[in-house]
């Protein structure tokens, strides 16, 4: 265990554990929010920290950006902070205008998780018991998350959850990636997302329920695309906070996105079993960071799925096990 700082509010301590691979990749994890604080990848030009993070652990107690955190119970947005299961309607925290974002103000990101090393410190397990009614969500939920580095440069995240009564669940990691922080902004990066469809949203980023083809739209990122706009008339074209639909939603693990920094030579390949990917370019980041200092690739279920019958279901029953896997595979190259 690396270091800790005590929370004045809960009298619990923020603690950190660092995983290391034989090739020198290091991942620092925190028990608050089961969060990723740093991913350090050795490259030909030096070690690159591929994610944003606060330099002081105490800053995580005041975080408003979900910085590297596990988000839930429901990642992304729930319209009007309400949903129904059968004849029962549930009201959850309207922390984003009148909508619920990432489980509300007291979501998974704000809780201290149980953290322990596994397999001679080759992996870290986080566990949390979310009581029935927490944040307005029904059912007592037991969640386990395991982080491990495999094949020297791949961070694997395995999610598992069970409930004692029917509920809704959508868990994701909210890391902000920047593969070349010397350049400060993500505008030097290229992105590719293997999605033929996306879900259009309104001004509050709530899906309409439509699943639309990316063809002939700015959401067609199936080929490597620069995040820096090449036209002054097209200044909005590289700003995203949208859900992309994966080609296969049957729970198989597949590569769905590639993020590349031509300057550092580092690339990240994202693999997931999840049905969707929220791509967010960090327009709402403020001090101590800056706008577009990092981007999120949040592998998850569909936003507002409890209110959208045309979307894959987000329900979890007592006779089911929620299981998902996401992998951040880093590929060092030559700048």
Q: Give the whole-angstrom CA distance, residue 219 versus residue 203.
A: 17
Span between the terminal Cα atoms of the chain, in Å? 34
Q: Choosing from 15, 125, 134, 298, which is the catalytic residue? A: 298
124 token code pair: 């870290």
Q: Give the whole-angstrom CA distance, residue 109 versus residue 35.
A: 8
Q: Give the whole-angstrom CA distance, residue 59 versus residue 92.
A: 26
Name residues whose C-beta falls within 8 Å of residue 120's C-beta, 6 or more positions apart in sequence: none
Question: 111 an active-site residue?
Answer: no
Q: Give the whole-angstrom CA distance, residue 276 versus residue 248.
A: 9
191 token code pair: 């992105």
CA dihedral 78, 285, 198, 227 (to 10 degrees): 180
Question: 320 an active-site residue?
Answer: no
Q: Choosing from 109, 174, 189, 269, which is the catalytic residue? A: 174
User: 175 with 53: CB under 8 angstroms?
Assistant: no
**Which of the residues are catalytic?**
174, 298
């Amino acid at each position: 265990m690396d270091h800790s700082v005590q929370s004045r509010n809960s009298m619990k301590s923020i603690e950190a554990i660092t995983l290391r691979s034989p090739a020198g990749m290091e991942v620092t994890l925190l028990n608050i929010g089961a969060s990723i604080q740093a991913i350090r990848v050795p490259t030909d030009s030096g070690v690159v920290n591929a994610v944003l993070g606060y330099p002081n652990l105490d800053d995580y107690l005041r975080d408003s950006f979900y910085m590297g955190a596990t988000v839930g119970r429901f990642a992304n947005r729930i319209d009007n902070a309400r949903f129904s299961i059968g004849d029962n309607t549930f009201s959850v925290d309207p922390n984003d205008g009148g909508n619920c974002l990432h489980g509300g103000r007291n979501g998974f990101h704000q809780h201290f998780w149980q953290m322990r090393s596994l397999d001679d410190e080759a992996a870290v397990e986080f566990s949390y018991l979310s009581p029935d009614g927490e944040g307005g969500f029904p059912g007592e939920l037991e969640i386990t998350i395991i982080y491990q580095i495999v094949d020297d440069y791949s961070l694997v995240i395995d999610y598992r959850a069970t409930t004692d009564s029917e509920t809704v669940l959508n868990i994701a990691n909210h890391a902000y990636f920047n593969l070349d922080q010397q350049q400060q902004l993500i505008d030097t990066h290229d992105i590719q997302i293997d999605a033929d469809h996306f879900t259009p949203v309104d001004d509050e980023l709530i899906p309409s329920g439509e699943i639309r083809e990316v063809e002939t739209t700015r959401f067609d990122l199936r080929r490597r695309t620069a995040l820096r706009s090449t036209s002054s008339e097209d200044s909005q074209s590289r700003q995203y906070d949208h859900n992309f639909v994966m080609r296969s939603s049957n729970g198989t693990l597949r590569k769905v996105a590639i993020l590349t920094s031509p300057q550092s030579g580092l690339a990240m390949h994202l693999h997931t079993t999840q049905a969707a990917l929220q791509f967010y370019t960090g327009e709402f980041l403020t001090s101590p960071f800056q706008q577009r200092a990092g981007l999120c690739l949040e592998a998850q279920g569909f936003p507002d799925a409890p209110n959208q019958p045309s979307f894959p279901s987000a329900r979890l029953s007592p006779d089911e096990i929620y299981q998902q896997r996401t992998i951040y595979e880093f590929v060092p190259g030559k700048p």
